[in-house]
């Protein structure tokens, strides 16, 4: 009996001294390119708060959105992020993929275990605040506190990007009495257009000195299936250097404003003594072209459109950087493993915790991408193949040597065998994700494209 009491006392002591679960602050931007952070190599943008996260945390330079089944890629991206499942697994994915018959056992994105539900089961107080349009409404309803901006357009036009979300997050951090750790998911509506920044942010940049993307083109060289989508109509064709610099000026200024308000949140955590025990994650739903390849939007599978920033900083996270291939939908299982939260079964996401903690160099050997029924792609550590099934067009890039995808190698016969092998791997990935889109059209559309009349 004495031994049992001694063991119980020892257990109580160990429990009392055990490290508490970390808070989790997940900062999520809208339409932010992976190369839009100063500390990750952008020579122009001003991002002091995000730079601080990079300098004390771990950055992934090859994090990607898998793609989208709608032109508003924001919607499937967020649903995949919070569910860990590719959009091919959902009941409603079929309408945007050519009306294919849904498969037995498919769920709506909000059904079953997902990120907010997992964190709640792990003992977290869960909080979401973000934009209402083109987002994961069913999953976000699972947060205990679930708030939306009153008007996405107004929030993007007041000149202080993210201020309202930051104000309420700071109040939550300072006023909460709940003893549980918190999981806070803040889904900002910026730097998505319309891009309005206060003069104090715009004045930090000299528009004429802003460099153009290294893959800038006045117009995309062929029809990618979405040449006249809403995002592409934000500027006339051909794109001029001055027009793209205007877009970039506003884009960077909005990012700087959003960065300022994100910094206010981390300052509040520090002021209240919670920063040291808070895991901070920063990412975005996907990238955006803004002049790359002659495009403006995210309805493409180039790196500019699908590559997103991804940073982890906080307790037990080493300082470092990795080029490991990961999906945004891998964040869910990774957070679950880091916080000992239960994980949904049968998801597509895999934890990249071993890479994050320096125990492995790679997470996935290759990534599959899909955009509606007009584009498919496969990328490994060296090469990327993009297929346009409606026009029977293929591109091949050596992304290790040509990360901006400026030199299409598909016409080089020296790469014929490689293209055939990658097409076979692409088809295999399609089968894995239950994607039934043919990669070749029997009656292809013309590849040439001309801008619509003004």
SS3 275: helix
Helix (H) or strand (E) holding 384: strand 383-388
How does DSSP assign 302-325, residue by residue?
Answer: SHHHHEEEEEEESTTPPSEEE---
The structure tokens listed for 267 are 């300052």
Per the domain annotation, does 370 fall within a domain?
no
Count of the separate structural domains present in the chain: 1
Could you tell me the CA-to-CA distances from 355 to 44, 129, 313, 331 in Å, in that order? 29, 29, 14, 12
What are the residues whose beta carbons fall under 8 Å from the beta carbon of 221, sequence distance 6 or more?
294
CA 313, CA 294: separation in Å to the nearest integer? 35
pTM of the model as a whole: 0.93
CA distances from 31 to 189, 213, 296, 345, 449 (A): 9, 16, 11, 30, 26
Separation between Cα atoms, residue 195 and residue 193, nearest integer Å = 5
Residue 414 lies in a domain: no
Look at residue 19 in the predicted model and tell me its pLDDT.
Answer: 61
Structure confidence at residue 454 (pLDDT):
74
d(Cα 8, Cα 29) in Å, to the nearest integer? Answer: 47
Q: What SS3 string covers 161-195? A: CCHHHHHHHHHHHHHCCCCCCEEEEEECCCCCCCC
Domain assignment present for residue 425? The answer is no
DSSP assignment of 388-426 equals: ETTTTEEEEEETTT-TT-----TT-GGGHHHHHHHHHHH
Residue 428 lies in a domain: no
In a domain, 290, yes or no: yes
Q: Which residues of the chain have pLDDT under 70?
A: 1-19, 91-110
User: How much of the chain is helix, strand and coil, in % rounded to 5?
Assistant: 35, 15, 45
**Separation CA 236–CA 246 (nearest Å):** 13
Q: For residue 128, tell me if it sits in a domain.
A: yes
Which candidate, 205, 210, 194, places its Cα nearest to that of 159? 194
Q: Looking at residue 7, what is its pLDDT?
A: 42
Q: Considering just the CA atoms, what is the radius of gyration of the chain in Å?
A: 23
- Is residue 373 situated within a structural domain? no
DSSP 281: E
Domain that residue 304 falls in? 21-365
**Residues shown for the chain:** 454
Segment 401-414, tens digit of pLDDT: 999 999 999 999 99
Question: 164: Cβ–Cβ under 8 A, 6 or more apart, which residues?
Answer: 149, 155
Decide the pairing of beta strands 67-68 and 366-371.
parallel
Residue 78 lies in a domain: yes
pLDDT, residue 452, reads 86
**Residue 203, domain CATH:** 3.40.720.10
pLDDT the model gives residue 20: 84
Is residue 258 within 8 A of residue 188, CB to CB? The reply is yes
């Amino acid at each position: 009996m004495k031994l049992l009491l001694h063991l119980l006392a020892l257990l109580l002591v160990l429990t009392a001294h055990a490290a508490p679960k970390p808070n989790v602050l997940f900062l999520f931007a809208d339409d932010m390119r992976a190369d839009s952070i100063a500390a990750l190599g952008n020579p122009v943008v001003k991002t002091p708060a995000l730079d601080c996260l990079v300098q004390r945390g771990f950055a992934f330079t090859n994090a990607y959105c898998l793609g989208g089944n709608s032109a508003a890629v924001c919607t499937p991206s967020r649903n995949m992020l919070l569910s860990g499942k590719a959009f091919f697994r959902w009941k409603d994915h079929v309408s945007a993929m050519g009306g294919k018959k849904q498969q037995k056992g498919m769920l709506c994105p909000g059904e079953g275990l997902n990120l907010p539900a997992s964190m709640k089961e792990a003992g977290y107080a869960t909080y979401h605040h973000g934009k209402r349009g083109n987002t994961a409404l069913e999953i976000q309803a699972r947060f205990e506190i679930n708030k939306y901006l009153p008007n996405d357009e107004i929030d993007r036009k007041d000149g202080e990007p993210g201020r309202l979300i930051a104000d309420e997050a700071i109040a939550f951090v300072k006023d909460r009495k709940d003893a549980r750790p918190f999981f806070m998911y803040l889904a900002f509506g910026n730097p998505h257009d319309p891009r309005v920044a206060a003069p104090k942010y715009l004045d930090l940049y000299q528009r004429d000195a802003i460099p153009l993307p290294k893959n800038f083109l006045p117009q995309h060289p062929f029809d990618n299936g979405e040449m006249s989508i809403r995002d592409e109509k934000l500027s006339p064709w051909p794109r001029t250097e001055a027009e793209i610099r205007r877009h970039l000026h506003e884009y960077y200024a909005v990012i700087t404003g959003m960065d300022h308000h994100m910094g206010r949140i981390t300052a509040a955590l520090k002021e209240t003594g919670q920063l040291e025990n808070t895991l901070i994650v920063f990412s975005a739903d996907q990238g955006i072209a803004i002049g790359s390849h002659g495009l403006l939007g995210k309805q493409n599978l180039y790196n500019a459109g699908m590559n997103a920033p991804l940073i982890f900083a906080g307790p037990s996270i080493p300082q470092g950087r990795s080029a490991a291939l990961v999906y945004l939908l891998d964040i869910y299982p990774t957070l679950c493993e880091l916080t000992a939260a239960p994980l949904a079964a049968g998801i597509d996401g895999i934890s990249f915790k071993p890479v994050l903690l320096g125990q492995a160099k790679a997470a996935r050997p290759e990534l599959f991408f899909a955009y509606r029924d007009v584009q498919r792609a496969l990328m490994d550590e060296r090469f990327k193949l993009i297929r346009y099934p409606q026009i029977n067009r293929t591109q091949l890039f050596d992304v290790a040597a040509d990360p901006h995808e400026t030199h299409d190698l598909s016409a080089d016969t020296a790469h014929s065998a490689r293209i055939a092998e990658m097409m076979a791997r692409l088809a295999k990935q399609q089968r894995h994700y239950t994607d039934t889109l043919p990669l070749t059209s029997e009656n292809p559309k013309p590849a040439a494209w001309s801008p619509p009349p003004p």
